[in-house]
Amino acid sequence: MPADAKLLLIDKNAVEYALQTEDVLAAVREAFVLHSRRAGRVFPVVRERLHTGGIFGIKSGAVASQDLLGFKAAGFWPGNRQLGGEPHQATVMLIDPATGRPLAILDGNAITTARTGAAGCLGLKALARPESSQRLCIFGTGVQARIQLTYALNALPEVRDVRYVSVSNETDESFEAQFREQCTIRLAKERNEAVASSDVVITATPGGGPLFAAEAVQSGTHLTCVGADTAGKRELPPGVLERARIVVDDAEQARAIGECQWNPTLACVELGDLLDGKMHFERDPTDITVFDMTGLALQDLTVSRLIYTGTLANGTGTTVAWPW
């Protein structure tokens, strides 16, 4: 057995250095298309609550034509806030499908953040009304809310007015400062009014329950829903999905752990089918659209492959002996 085998470790700094916006968008789009064509396999998701109060999950998959195999072990540990750390934690491993040997271990936090932001961006471009998307309401001010708003302002340059709802219902100065040069941004005084007057609504919270009243959602609104990724989680109130045209990243997964778990009999379309041209989506100006995002393993793999090949090429990362 090879005694000179190596394992590449790619830490947070190296991952963040490699995450260029357009490259990430292309990799995530590729993941959606691979999924649509069933050229990439998505294995059953593990998502379990722990005795520590955290949630632990594994998303894994493979792309045979690219010899791409791997998984992301990730979850949510709310107690990390008291330790001065980020509640979302993730680690990615890429594996040689021919031997089962690990090729690389990557810090998955930035990967998860970026690929989820990119997925939301692709959903906005496909589903939102660009001619009237000037007002946006976002729930949350954390890491995922920030990346969703960053990509949303990229996807919808017409957006001029942003209102946000924070967990404390108080002004978040650092959140405002990050986006003040790109738009007018302010705390929503009343969340239902903010939803009712917005063209786009993004929910990027831990998914602890409905965030607003169903009747606040007006005709023509697009909603990007990020926080429901576990059985029992939700951000939308009852009655919204029933009025909406629903797009998901994966139908089975969305009905198990996404917003669609609350009414799994509703019809939905996978975003990959729209991006690949399998299905045509003509949006009526009065349509309410929902993008129910639960996260695809293929997104983690295509973005991790991007980082892995780039790291090999530029000689960054840390190589350690990993003999058989």
Give pLDDT tens digits for 68-117.
999 999 999 999 989 999 899 999 999 999 999 999 999 999 999 999 99
Average pLDDT of the chain?
A: 95
* Two tokens, residue 96: 């040689």
Measured in whole angstroms, the distance separating CA 122 from the mean position of its chain's CA atoms is 11
Using CA atoms, how far residue 99 sits from 41, 44, 65, 67, 69, in Å, is 18, 22, 16, 11, 11
The model's pTM: 0.93
Query: In the chain, which residues fall in CATH 3.40.50.720?
Result: 117-295
**Tokens 């894994």 found at:** 60
Q: Which residues 6+ apart lie within 8 Å of 300 measured at CB?
A: 59, 70, 72, 92, 108, 111, 112, 115
Cα–Cα dist 283/44, whole Å: 32
CATH of domain 117-295: 3.40.50.720
Residue by residue, pLDDT tens for the chain (324 residues) are: 577 899 999 999 999 999 999 999 999 999 999 999 999 999 999 999 999 999 999 999 999 999 999 999 999 999 998 999 989 999 999 999 999 999 999 999 999 999 999 999 999 999 998 776 789 999 999 999 999 999 999 889 889 899 999 999 999 999 999 999 999 999 999 999 999 999 999 999 999 999 999 999 999 999 999 999 989 999 999 999 999 999 999 999 999 999 999 999 999 999 999 999 999 888 899 999 999 999 999 999 999 999 999 999 998 899 999 999
Backbone angles phi, psi at 61, to 5 degrees: -175, -175
Give pLDDT tens digits for 126-149.
999 877 678 999 999 999 999 999
* Two tokens, residue 95: 């594996």
CATH number of the domain at 6-112+298-321, out of 3.40.50.300, 3.30.1780.10, 3.50.50.100, 3.40.50.2300? 3.30.1780.10
pLDDT of residue 313: 92
The secondary structure of the chain in percent helix, strand, coil, rounded to multiples of 5, reads: 35, 25, 40
Query: In the chain, which residues fall in CATH 3.30.1780.10?
Result: 6-112+298-321
E strands of the chain, at which residues? 6-10, 41-42, 46-49, 55-63, 68-76, 88-95, 102-107, 135-139, 161-165, 184-187, 200-203, 222-225, 245-248, 269-270, 289-292, 318-321
